Amino acid sequence: MPPTIVGLFTGLLLGLAWVIGGFDAFVGTAVLGVVGFVIGKVVAGQIDLTPYLGGAGRGPR
């Protein structure tokens, strides 16, 4: 799906959350959207979190 369509749907869903649930629901939806975006990037291999999570790559002890 093209990024413009994804952005359109994201904006529509955020607007709907704001109208139905108020500002708190808007902020919560936006935060969860960002978390989902980051998780998607990690799963796709576009972001590497091993330096931050202390995974492999540390030197000998």
Each residue's pLDDT tens digit in the chain (61 positions)?
788 888 888 888 889 988 999 999 889 888 988 888 888 888 888 888 888 887 665 556 5
Given a contact cutoff of 8 angstroms between Cβ atoms, the answer to whether 10 and 33 are in contact is yes
> DSSP class of residue 47?
S
CB atoms within 10 A of CB 16: 13
Confidence (pTM)? 0.66
